[in-house]
Amino acid sequence: RCVAASASSSPAATAAAMEVPATMKAWAHDAYGDASVLKLVEAAAVPAVGEDQVLVRVVAAALNPVDAKRRAGKFQATDSPLPTVPGYDVAGVVVKVGGQVEGLKEGDEVYGMISEKPLEGPKQSGSLAEYTAVEEKLLARKPKGIDFVQAAGLPVAILTASQGLEKAGMAAGKSVLVLGGAGGVGSLAIQLAKQVYGASKVAATASTKKIELLKRLGADVAIDYTKENFEELPDKYDVVFDAVGQGDKAVKVVKEGGSVVVLTGAVTPPGFRFVVTSNGSTLEELNPYLESGKVKPLVDPQGPFPFSKVVEAFSYLETGRATGKVVISPI
């Protein structure tokens, strides 16, 4: 199908499609290690576009702890070969479409998580680059009223929050405790529990300076972990959502028959490990909540970091103190 000539392509979008160069700037590493292994490559190959893929001109990308863990070599056994261009989260503009792509065209503003399974053969050429190739099914329309910086911070975090709550059996009238409520995932887990699932009570943990933020996000109970141990408090929850790695303590505060979903660290029964899967339709289903403002992206105020400052941005993310998402833009 000749997309460049389709009636709905704007002249600007068509021009952009014709301007795709052969090489691009990209951050890459050819060894595993700390953030210093990352190098800015001036002329990396622009990835080829598969039949079911689109090429996205990256406007903004966000960092996730999984990028840092992957770079450190934690998933070597199932990683794609080096050199790696990191980055799972993207927001940008479609500039080229594969032959089997039906729903997207050049000029469309999209966002998504670029690898379906983050730990099993993730893409070698990620989103910390001027262009990235992504399966159409992993992308969604960028929500109206959400800018590229905000959109880039959403995919991994909101998919993790949504699928994790779903797997834990979250439903209207249930109570939930979110461990790590001020992080990328936790800030969305609080909002989704309240706004999408209709939780009867949302509690969350963070350090002192972030307690007001937890309340603004919709937490009914905000627990300052520098002052109280949540596992020693009398309250029990239907669902505990662990975004910190406190699976051993999390199981102490779940009700009989409740669920403990563990994103990281050791799992203590009845807690269970959950790993996110990328999916554009889930993002599409969540778009109305983002467009109405019921669910708000939380971008760390230290950012967005310009493309030249990716190493600094990783160092900041890796302090474990980020508030919401660490975003890279413009790219």
Task: Please give the residue ranges that form the binding site for ligand NDP (CB under 6 A).
Answer: 64-66, 156-157, 160, 179-180, 182-186, 205-207, 210, 225, 243-244, 263-264, 274-276, 317, 320-323
CB of 47 or CB of 155, closer to ligand NDP: 155
CB of 170 or CB of 276, closer to ligand NDP: 276
- Rg of the chain (C-alpha set): 20
Query: Per DSSP, what are the bridge partners of residue 327?
Result: 62
CB of 101 or CB of 276, closer to ligand NDP: 276
CB 78, min distance to ligand NDP, A: 14
CB of 47 or CB of 86, closer to ligand NDP: 86
CB of 59 or CB of 327, closer to ligand NDP: 327
CB 279, min distance to ligand NDP, A: 13
Tokens matching residue 114: 């670029």
For residues 48 and 41, give the distance between their C-alpha atoms in angstroms, rounded to a whole number. 18
CB 106, min distance to ligand NDP, A: 31
What are the backbone angles phi and psi of residue 295, rounded to the nearest 5°?
A: -115, 125
For residues 192 and 46, give the distance between their C-alpha atoms in angstroms, rounded to a whole number. 36
For residues 54 and 10, give the distance between their C-alpha atoms in angstroms, rounded to a whole number. 17
Tell me the one-letter amino acid at 183. Answer: G
Residues 6 or more apart whose CB falls under 8 angstroms from that of 330 comprise: 59, 60, 306, 307
CB 84, min distance to ligand NDP, A: 17
Question: Residue of minimal CB distance from ligand NDP?
Answer: 183
Tokens matching residue 188: 């969305």
Provide DSSP, 26-76: EEEBSS-SSGGG-EEEEEEEPPP--TTEEEEEEEEEEE-HHHHHHHTTTTG
CB 207, min distance to ligand NDP, A: 3
CB of 9 or CB of 205, closer to ligand NDP: 205
How many Cα atoms occupy the beta-carbon half-sphere of 124 within 13 Å?
10
CB 160, min distance to ligand NDP, A: 4
Q: Are 204 and 187 in contact (CB under 8 A)?
A: no
